[in-house]
Structure 1
Amino acid sequence: MNLTDPIQYLKGVGPKMAENFTRLGVGQVGDLLTHYPRRYLDLSSPQKVSDALPDEINVFRAKIIDLKSSRALRKNMNILKATLQDESGEINAIWFNQPFLSNVLQKGATWIFYGKVERNFQRERILMSPQFEHRPQMISIYPETEGISSKYIRLVVSQVLQEIRIVENLPENIIKSEQLLARSEAILKIHQPQNWADVNLARNRLAFEEMLTLALRLTQSRLSTQKELAQAMPVQEKLLKSFAAKLPFELTVSQKKAIWQIILDLSKPVPMSRLLNGDVGSGKTIVAAMVAYHVVKSGYQVAVMAPTEILANQHYQTFSKFLQPFKISVGLQTANNGVKQREILRQKSKLSTTPHFLSMTATPIPRTLALSLYGDLDISVLDELPKGRQKITTTVVHPSKRSETYHFIEEQIKAGRQAFVICPLIEKSGKVETQRILSLQDIDKKTVLEEFEKLDKNIFPHRKIGLLHGRLKSAEKEEVMKQFKEGKLDIIVSTSVVEVGVDVSNATVMMIEGAENFGLAQLWQFRGRVGRGQHASYCFLFTEIWSEKIRERLFSISTAKNGFELAEKDLTIRGPGEVVGISQSGIPDFKMASLTDLALINRSRQAAEQILAKDPNLQSLPDLKLAVEKMATRHLE
């Protein structure tokens, strides 16, 4: 048996069950072995029957004191009912359509039972279709799907573990220095542990292996870049000072530091690979514009790539404003861009060198996450806001306070200000805009079309309201934003297409419907669309679900001192996918490793450097090489 064998040929699987397995991302034997348990039931520590918790999985060691089999004639269903007893009390257990259990379970026998406790119509606690074992053991509970239960997965995994030979993929010296289990032992213990010590040892090995794979990919990328040649551009300090002196504002300390770090990178004959990691509104664009000025004055060209057409248009206007006074021409080209386009740009360079690359974040990324995801890049941080930025007052609005908030927005518009209104969906047709939106199937979410209709006809009928979403044609989106920027629209109702970078200095209100559907990092981005002018600004978070958990999440927006603090909290609550953005395809699909484990990150990076120093192409470690190549096909910027 090999790891690449299709699972449909395993005993007890077949084509139909194999199709069900695909919903779990399992197609081959290797996929099955890395479909790790999500938790465990420890049968060695049963609870008392008197402590049974409804709606949860319970474990009891109990004696069968009564056992009856019957048939429900109306539903033609076999029913087996048992009364279970321990020293604390009794509880009934019930099984449906499993008549063979009458030959297995006997009155007077003691078993360890585990299953979900529910309440019947009489409010009695019932142990529903429990499973049972004779001896205490750890029971693996797996991610399931329709037609595939944890019990079934355990049976198939057990079969594979008995037949397959798992080859070690790490160097022996690394296994010894890191005190790791052998891979075969780790796989066995993660699926069939005898105790919690087994689980922890297996997790430690498998987490290290995952993080090491990422560290190898990043280290190889960095080493490869260092071998390439780039155009070195001498530092022109007087030129930069002259540019800064003509700006209508003073650069922050962190902006000056970042610019200097980038300029020094550009002065070297190796390609720059740097990440500009900045808070919302920290002034990343002017840093990029100043660097572009330096590059052009050095005799070269600059390509600025943006994720949306709206942002591309805005960058065009901003770069033109800063650079045209120095007689530097700026052009605009809009098209879908991404990894392929950057590779084309690299290949089409007329020079026999590699372009310098500067990546900029949309939201601040926590230090540990930046180290793990962007370990092949140097990092500059903008952690302060430019002088003159207005304070943004953030309020979580109770459903009963909606009318008061509308009145406040009306007063802002009367004073000559403008407002954004953000909704999670375009319409309730089942088709959703492919933005960074969570839990999109909830039909109670506010839609941009409904909200536009309501505000336009009922709430602000005397105001000029614009509509913006991803299905509009480019020219239509551009026209809506142009009217809003020119003050011809009082309110713009939009999906999350305005999330990144949109800058309208006269907008002082950001109203977000269904705020519970967005991550904290995304809400912080929306909030950052206001407070960019001379007027005090406000962000209103609307939610119809007034639960304690949601209130706590949303109130953290109003108390956060900066985006980095909030990003750390978001990382804890929602995980790295939300912090960097769901549409970022480069988040590694880690099952054991944590992207916030700084000790693990450092250990794996040191090991990666040791391995590559001896074997740069991983020729002696073919399985590990294959895992690294698979990860390298995913974009990590």
Structure 2
Amino acid sequence: MFTIETPVEKLVMIGPAYQNRLKKLGITTIGDLLYHLPFRYDDFSLISTIEKLQEGERVSVVGTVKKIENVYTKSRKKIQKAIVSDSTGSIDVIWYNQPFLTNILKPETTIILSGVVSSFASKLIFESPSYEMQKEKIQPLHTARFVPVYPETASVSSKWLRSRIFSLLSKFPLLVEDPLPQNIIQKYSLVPQKRALEMIHFPKNGEEARIGRRRLAFDELFFVQLRAAVRRKLWEKEQVSQPLFVNDHLAKIKQVERDLPFTLTNSQRRVLREIFADLSKTRPMNRLLVGDVGSGKTVVAAIAMYVAFLSGFQSILLAPTEILAKQHYKTIQQVLGTFIKRIELVTAETKKSVSRTASIFVGTHALLSQSLELKHLGLAVIDEQQRFGVRQRAILRLKGTYPHLLSMTATPIPRTIALTLFADLDVSFLEELPHGRSPVKTWVVPPHKRENAYAWIRNHIHESKGGNRVFIVCPFIEESQTMTEVKAAKAEFERLRTHVFPEFSLGLLHGGLNEKKRSEVLSAFRKGKYNILVSTPIIEVGIDIPTATIILIEGAERFGLSQLHQLRGRVGRGSTQSYCLLFTYGSSIIAMKRLTYLTQYSYGPKLAELDMQLRGSGEIFGLKQHGHLGLTIATIADVDLLQKARESVGELLTRDPLLSRFPLLRKKTLEDTIEEIAPD
């Protein structure tokens, strides 16, 4: 008996060769094959007679093969020419390099052709149409319908995939067991799971495909929510942490705040209250701090680490890159250096052995490889967790510790979506920029204004007596032969320092440099050795240079909205008004709308909402690429489904916390979740 876990090689006509080809598509089981979904549909449902065909029409015809032959071109390539007729007329049909067709499409064979009608020498023709033998009382699978098109690989075509998936769904009706409770299916007007698969693979029309996708998308979001809820319960039930004595040290905490060179925002104060409340409990904190670029997340984390220090505990802060780790280290030293003497930076460059007695450790993944057994670890902070790829279990590998956990992200996420996606976490939002900072003024610069922009930058540097710094960001390191108008960092660096800004000192930064060289270039830029830094998008995160007041982004239409917003965040980090210039070479309407949004709005979550409206069901701010969300069908633009999934999970667990009435649901959820949270 087949199940969705059955290996695909158990199916008829799938031998070792096809097994290896399917593996390239991520297909190893029957379930993988069933959930290998179409990425688009060709609508060939319009059926016409030959005499009514029109050029450019996407259509199907039923006719009889009258003649077919291989014709050689001057270059000795084979073209297959056929004449197909119905009761109203005939049409020429052409295929390329498929000589086997003369053995399949014999004269007097009745076939169905689907394609786009074109013309040649004033005659209508079909060029490379799909074809299928007409069989009595059997609905066509590859033609004359809404035809699914799949991701393919060598020798595994959409036609091959359609045949196997259709066979599975028709021959094994009990193969798909619906995991959702019936009351949830009914409440949200969902179709059964097997029917959803039939509708998404073989829909009658676009509406059926949408209905099928809606059910499968709901399933994904439902299980994201259910696993999150189970993770939260496991976190709360199985782990006990030492409470930190916040109330005993309020005076000292206030002293740190008074010593800051700026006043905390209301958002920072509110978030600190939320964190302090968590730290005072025996259940370890598990909180996500969502804050826009430059909103002051590191300062909040530093004060939380000071509370851990006052309570007799150590803290660690993990960052995804050395540049970002060094930036955090610098900020924490500025905030806490007067109060805490032992703050250690640990990166791949760290040669000395790390002291276990330090109060705060800041570092990259190198910190985890240092074999630290911190018996007094009270707080762990993870920055940009989705970039770092470090899960909670990586922290818990630090033996014997159950620290409070604070994750931070600058990825702009609309509030309602963040609360839903990260249901296993408590979520805090920093919604204000620090006092004294003005929003970055952003302009789209067309090609004919380039020289004017250069002159403006030149004056800006002169007026500041060389104090203000400028970033110039290029999409690529090297020039592209196919995209000659797109600036590349190396070539642009040479052009700018020789012909445009010869009076200034320029630096060059890109991913081809090793970590040490990158740090040296950034340090020189920070100290004023360079007025202008030409860079690739490597500066997207972790660069905090208050004297950087202009960022010029070449080929801005080539960047996503998230990346542009993050790049813009490299300036405007001081009290001086800052500027972002978006250089573009005539782009699509949607790309120009995206750039226009950046000129109008500076708050990340607002931009995320606008991006969601602009892209529809597409990814928002690149979040779809973050594998930790586990979404392949749904997207976080499915706000309505997100909320329904969250609501249904809450109701389900209220009635049946252990899922004892739903063994399939329990098995699927617990197995996946336990695998996620188990230590390596």
TM-score category, normalised to shorter length = 0.7 to 0.9
Aligned to 2:603: 562
1 CA distance for matches of 2:405 and 2:479? 41
Q: 1:536 to 1:347 in 2, by over 3 A?
A: same
Deviations 1:426-472 (A, max 9, x none): 33699xxxxxxxxxx97875433223233233332332222223343
Question: How far 1:520 moved relative to its partner?
Answer: 0.4
Q: SS at the partner of 1:594?
A: coil
Q: CA deviation at 1:217?
A: 1.3
Q: 1:628 to 1:601 in 2, by over 3 A?
A: farther
1:511 aligns with 2:552: yes
Q: CA–CA distance in 2 between the matches of 1:31 and 1:53?
A: 40
Deviations 1:549-593 (A, max 9, x none): 4323222211224221212233455677662557743131322x2
**C-alpha spacing 1:52/1:39, structure 2 compared with 1 (3 Å):** farther
Equivalent residue for 1:423, pick from 450, 460, 474: 474
Supply the distance in 1 between the matched residues of 2:235 and 2:30 (Cα, whole angstroms): 36
- Mapped pair 1:262 → 2:263: no
Question: Could you tell me how far 1:206 is from its partner in structure 2?
Answer: 1.8
Counterparts of 2:561 and 2:569 in 1: how far apart (Å)? 12
Contact kept in structure 1, 2:472 and 2:552, CA below 8 Å:
yes
- More divergent stretch after superposition (136-145 vs 209-218): 136-145
The CA RMSD over aligned residues, in Å, is: 3.6
CA-CA distance at 1:633 after TM superposition: 6.0
Report the residue type matching 1:458 in the other structure.
H
Name the counterpart of 1:538.
579
Residue 588 of structure 1, aligned match among 602, 616, 630? 630
What does 1:596-635 correspond to in 2, within 5 Å? Answer: 596-612=637-653, 614=656, 616=658, 621-622=663-664, 625-626=667-668, 629-630=671-672
Structure 1 residue aligned with 2:180 = 170
Q: 1:51 to 1:566 in 2, by over 3 A?
A: farther
Which residue does 1:332 correspond to in 2? 345
Q: Match for residue 396 of structure 2?
A: 346
Between the aligned partners of 1:105 and 1:392, the Cα distance in structure 2 is 72
Task: Kindly provide the amino acid, as one letter, of the partner of residue 424 in structure 1.
Answer: P
Do 2:620 and 2:636's aligned partners in 1 also have CA atoms closer than 8 Å? Answer: no
CA shift at 1:526, angstroms? 0.6
**What amino acid is the match of 1:216?**
L
Name the aligned partner's letter for residue 168 of structure 2. V
Q: What SS is found at the alignment partner of 1:269? A: coil
Partner residue of 2:169?
Answer: 161
Q: 1: CA distance between counterparts of 2:554 and 2:623?
A: 19
Q: Kindly, what percent of the aligned residue pairs are identical?
A: 35
Contact 2:475 / 2:554 at 8 angstroms: preserved in 1?
yes
**Aligned counterpart for 1:413 among listed residues 461, 472, 493:** 461
Q: Secondary structure of the residue that 2:318 maps to in structure 1?
A: coil
Partners of 1:366 and 1:248 in 2: CA distance = 31
* Counterpart Cα distance in 1 of 2:495 and 2:430: 40
TM-superposed CA distance for 1:256, in Å, is 1.6
Pairing partner for 1:229 from 221, 240, 252? 240
- Looking at structure 1, the residues matched to 49 and 451 of structure 2 have their Cα atoms a distance apart, in angstroms, of 52
- Is the 8 Å Cα contact of residues 214 and 631 (structure 1) preserved in structure 2? no
Indicate the residue corresponding to 2:159 in structure 1: 151
Equivalent residue number for residue 446 of structure 2: 398
**Whole-Å separation in 2 of the counterparts to 1:369 and 1:105:** 59
Q: Deviations over 1:197-245 (max 9, x none)?
A: 6544433332222112111211111111111212222443444444333
Q: Which residue of 2 aligns with 1:438?
A: none
Query: 1:93 Cα deviation (Å)?
Result: 4.0
Unaligned runs of 5+ in 1: 431-440
Asked if the contact 1:42/1:139 (under 8 Å) is kept, the reply is: yes
Q: Give the C-alpha shift of residue 603 in structure 1.
A: 2.6
Partners in 2 of 1:632 and 1:545 — Cα distance? 51
Q: 1:117 to 1:559 in 2, by over 3 A?
A: farther
SS of structure 1 residue aligned to 2:304: helix
Cα–Cα, structure 1 residues 117 and 423, in superposed 2: closer, same or farther, change >3 Å?
farther
The residue aligned with 2:214 is 204
User: Which residue is 2:106 aligned to?
Assistant: 103
- Which of 448, 455, 464 matches 2:505? 464
Give the deviation of 1:33 after TM superposition.
0.2
Task: Give the match for residue 359 of structure 2.
Answer: none
Please give the secondary structure, in 2, of the residue aligned with 1:303. Answer: strand
Take 1:90 and 1:369, find their aligned partners in 2: how far apart are those partners?
56
Note the C-alpha offset of 1:42. 5.0
Deviations 1:299-329 (A, max 9, x none): 2222112221111111111111111233454
Give the 3-state SS of the residue equivalent to 1:595 in structure 2. coil
Q: Shift of the alpha carbon at 1:35?
A: 0.9
Q: CA deviation at 1:142?
A: 2.4
Q: Which residue of 1 aligns with 2:39?
A: 38
User: Could you tell me how far apart the structure 2 residues matched to 1:281 and 1:86 are?
Assistant: 72
Instruction: Provide the rounded CA distance (Å) in 1 between the counterparts of 2:71 and 2:650.
Output: 67
Shift in CA distance, 463/53, structure 1 to aligned 2, threshold 3 Å: farther
For 1:92 and 1:555, how far apart are their aligned partners in 2?
49
Structure 1 CA distance for aligned equivalents of residues 157 and 116 of structure 2: 14
Distance change in 2, residues 1:94/1:623 (3 Å): farther
Query: What amino acid maps onto 1:217 in structure 2?
Result: R
Of 17-26 and 578-587, more deviation after overlay is shown by 578-587
Taking structure 1 as the reference length, the TM-score comes to 0.85
Q: Return the alpha-carbon distance in structure 1 between the equivalents of residues 15 and 483 of structure 2.
A: 35
* Structure 1 residue 367, shift from structure 2 partner: 2.5
Check whether the contact 1:214–1:628 (CA below 8 A) recurs between aligned residues: no
Q: Deviations over 1:471-517 (max 9, x none)?
A: 43333222222211111111112222211131111111111123222
Residue number in structure 1 paired with 2:433: 385
The answer on whether the counterparts of 1:81 and 1:94 sit within 8 Å (CA) in structure 2 is yes
Aligned to 1:359: 407
Partner of 2:621, secondary structure, is: helix
Once the two structures are superposed, residues 68-92 of structure 1 have per-residue CA deviations (whole angstroms, 9 ceiling, x without a partner) of 53442334635334477899x9975
In 1, distance between residues paired with 2:265 and 2:321? 27
Match of 1:261, as an amino acid?
Answer: E
Matched position secondary structure for 2:327: helix
* 1: CA distance, partners of 2:206 / 2:614: 25
1:177 deviates by 4.2
Is the contact made by 2:474 and 2:487 (CA closer than 8 Å) also made in structure 1? yes
User: Which amino acid counterpart does residue 73 of structure 1 have in structure 2?
Assistant: Y
Q: Scaled by the length of structure 2, what TM-score is found?
A: 0.80
> Shift of residue 537 of structure 1?
1.7
For the 8 Å contact 1:187–1:202, the answer to whether it is kept is yes
* Secondary structure, aligned partner of 1:296: helix
CA distance in 1, matches of 2:639, 2:391: 33
Out of 502, 519, 540, the position equivalent to 1:478 is 519
For the residues of structure 2 that align with 1:547 and 1:121, how far apart are their CA atoms?
35
* SS in structure 1 of the partner of residue 337 of structure 2: helix
Query: Paired residue for 2:201, among 178, 181, 191?
Result: 191
Which residue, 256, 265, 270 being the options, matches 1:243? 256
Residue-by-residue CA offset, 1:384-439 (whole Å, 9 max, x unaligned): 22232134222222223322222222222223221112223333699xxxxxxxxx
3-state SS of paired residue (2:241)? coil
- 1:331, distance to aligned residue in structure 2 (A): 1.8
Moved more, 178-187 or 226-235: 178-187
Contact 2:220 2:631 in 1 (8 A): no
Q: 1:615 to 1:265 in 2, by over 3 A?
A: closer
CA contact (8 A) 2:271 2:429 kept: yes
Could you tell me which amino acid in structure 2 is paired with residue 116 of structure 1? V
